[in-house]
Structure 1
Amino acid sequence: MNPFTFNTSKSIQFGAGSLNRIGELVRAQIGDRVMLVTDPGMMSTGIVDRTLKILSDAGVRVELFKDVEADPPEAVILKATEQAKAADIAGVVGLGGGSSLDVAKLVALLALGREELKDVYGVGSAKGPRLPLILVPTTSGTGSEVTPISIVTTGTNQKMGVVTPVILPDVALLDPELTYGLPAHVTAATGIDAMVHAIEAYASASANNNPVSRLLATQALIMMGRSILKAVHEGADAEARSDMLLGSMLAGQAFANSPVAAVHALAYPLGGHFHIPHGLSNALVLPHVLRFNVVTSPQPYAELAPYAFPELADLEGQERAAAFCDRLADLSRDCGLQPNLRAMGIPEDILPRLASDAMNQTRLLVNNPRPLAEADALAIYRAAY
């Protein structure tokens, strides 16, 4: 067995109603001065107000940052960091989807003033330390609460990552009740995103692909495969919501250590140029990237297929891998997601630019089971069009 490293959050606490413990957790892990990082959409749900009351009742003073944007640009990170420094906070709580959690990670890192954002991009560039950090996801998609990754939009449409175990939180607090009110299209897009994390982690060509990540990926696909449609179409189903939130976290643990590949590399330009939500970007290219991969590397997809779709167990080898790609495309359709790039209003003449931009994602492309050139990326975008 090859040597590997596996890192994850120090403490994972899961359970319906667990947000009620946020006050005692903050007091124990951080103290009485905290920044709460969230976004305008969360402000309208009542969850932020509930969290503020719980924290206030516990004697915690809160500095609220509520201006997180989807695909957060550098300006948002810097604004939140300056607000945190001015308030002299003792720690950070991130509450919301992946963007809010990613911003919270970087605020915890940068608020000490020992490192600057421009210096921490890349793998292992950030050294720490950071402020104490608690992350509370309200979607079942990114797994950001257990990943050492924060994605930032730089310039107008490029995405860069800060990748370091330093930004893994002290506590990941998972309360499935916080996801009950998610709209169907958000549930679908984030759910497919989480499934992509599991699939790409299992098939990753990374030297750190390891038995722990593969085991987590298969369990994640079992849980999400049986529950995603029910979560989308029956959003108040407690069991389905729990499956999706825990499955998303397991997939996050998997890809945090066995990193993702070409699906994400081709999804990022769609988000950068057209502000398509990340999960939907993944769903649009997923079956087409996998069809490209299974030509030379069918085995991991054939192995994964029955975990997500038990009916595929009767097939074998290349046939099962190909059927897996088709069933994933069907799943996106059954979840009500847009079927192709054309349906998103993307002009066909920009496809070469998207292919060129995707090739900048070298951190991800190196993990793809099949080497992918710019001409291949363009062919995949055309197939997805």
Structure 2
Amino acid sequence: MTSFNFETSPRIVCEQGSAARIGELAKGLGASHVFIVTDEFLHNSGLTKSLLAGLEAEKLKHTLYTDVLADPPEASVQAAVAQAIASGADAVIGFGGGSAMDTAKLVALLVRTPQDIPSIYGVNIACGPRLPLIQVPTTAGTGSEVTPISILTTPTDEKKGVVSSALYPDIAVLDSTLTLGLPPAITAATGIDAMVHAIEAYTSRHKKNPLSDALALQALKALHDNIRTVLAEPKNADAREAMLMGSLFAGMAFANAPVAAVHALAYPLGGRYHLPHGLTNALVLSPVLRFNQPAAAMLYAELERALNIQASSDDQVASLAFIERMTALVAEMPFTQTLSGNGVREADLPLLAQDAMAVQRLLINNPREVTLADALAIYQSVY
């Protein structure tokens, strides 16, 4: 008998131009004053115009918070919480990439149920209730609009996660028109990030289940089949929408079948060097796939067959073809492909490996056990 538990955001709105409807959606959640969590660049670029117009049409008050930082430090989240409390807002909108949405989750929670951030790192420690929450992704990558996870940077430059069902948003809004202006490097890195979510959910040692598998396969195919198109045709709203859907499906999958070694090795690069999360996942993806292949051949073969109906029936052959497929795809992406090229110091590789080994919350999900020597060798292979 198959036993599993599956959770996700209760409502998903996918429609080009739907950012203009967010005021209506917020009003439906009982909001009268919304706290918008975004970053200064997105706001100054005009991307929030349709959102703000929709709030005005519904006569909703709003407070705009634009001080979101990449890999949000604890202090920046605390500052956002303090401003939300002072504003008197009764609902929260996360508008942006993963950093904005992760910040918004904790603002919605901590305004309503105050808790000390360091005390709630881990799984099912943070408790609710929270304010109503709407998430609006402007990149096709994190899937944060359908996950119960918020990743922060500690004062010691570690990346830690708050994981709790209380963080699932009420509504996820997918509006591909918001992603049309994404630069190629960000489009590429976030797209690979979403593909990593799908791959690691499908191969996770814990909580893998039929629903997460189906979503991971659908996600990987949508992302794989459209990432080259959105890079070649950045204004293609339909392909952008397919990428958003792939990211959302992958988010649903890994929220229930958690990620593993790729993310564990990526986190220290973000924490120590503040490299974008999608980029760090992309940098270590291929060596981790090669490392895992002896233990994950059958699963990698199934992923290859989902992408190529003519793939070999031999698991070893198909799994190696999948690894080569992903390696070649990453190599096509318009970002620097090595750690050294992204400013990582060779002398820091042992420290990064130690940091990665501390992320046991994720390493325990990996198909193959990772040792300190393995982690160091993976970093060295892409240095």
Tell me the equivalent position of 2:249: 250
Tell me the equivalent position of 2:135: 135
Tell me the equivalent position of 1:123: 123
Tell me the equivalent position of 1:355: 353
Gaps of 5+ in 1: none
Tell me the equivalent position of 1:151: 151
| Within-5 A mapping of 1:1-385 | 1-206=1-206, 208-308=207-307, 310=308, 313-314=311-312, 316-385=314-383
Letter in 2 for 1:59: K
Letter in 2 for 1:138: T
Gaps of 5+ in 2: none
Shift of 1:49: 2.9
Equivalent residues of 2:176, 2:238 under 8 A apart: no
Shift of 1:233: 2.1
CA distance in 1, matches of 2:14, 2:62: 24
Superimposed CA distance per residue, residues 206-231 of structure 1 (whole angstroms, 9 cap, x where no aligned partner)? 1x110000000000111111100111
| TM-score, length-scaled by structure 2 | 0.97
CA distance in 2, matches of 1:221, 1:38: 28
CA distance in 2, matches of 1:56, 1:249: 28
Shift of 1:30: 3.5
CA distance in 1, matches of 2:116, 2:349: 35
Worse-superposed segment, 299-308 or 159-168: 299-308
CA distance in 2, matches of 1:339, 1:315: 32
How large is the Cα RMSD of the aligned pairs? Answer: 1.2
Deviating beyond 2 angstroms after TM superposition, the runs of 4 or more aligned structure 1 residues are 113-116
Superimposed CA distance per residue, residues 97-153 of structure 1 (whole angstroms, 9 cap, x where no aligned partner)? 010000000000000243232222110001100010000111000000000000010
| TM-score, length-scaled by structure 1 | 0.97
Equivalent residues of 2:24, 2:54 under 8 A apart: no
Superimposed CA distance per residue, residues 242-283 of structure 1 (whole angstroms, 9 cap, x where no aligned partner)? 110000000000000000000000000111111110000000
Letter in 2 for 1:264: H
Superimposed CA distance per residue, residues 52-78 of structure 1 (whole angstroms, 9 cap, x where no aligned partner)? 222122101001110001100001100
Secondary structure of the residue that 2:136 maps to in structure 1? strand
User: 1:365–1:78: structure 2 CA closer, same or farther, 3 Å change rule?
Assistant: same
User: 1:315–1:41: structure 2 CA closer, same or farther, 3 Å change rule?
Assistant: farther
Secondary structure of the residue that 1:324 maps to in structure 2? helix
User: 1:238–1:50: structure 2 CA closer, same or farther, 3 Å change rule?
Assistant: closer
Worse-superposed segment, 49-58 or 311-320: 311-320
Equivalent residues of 1:312, 1:320 under 8 A apart: no
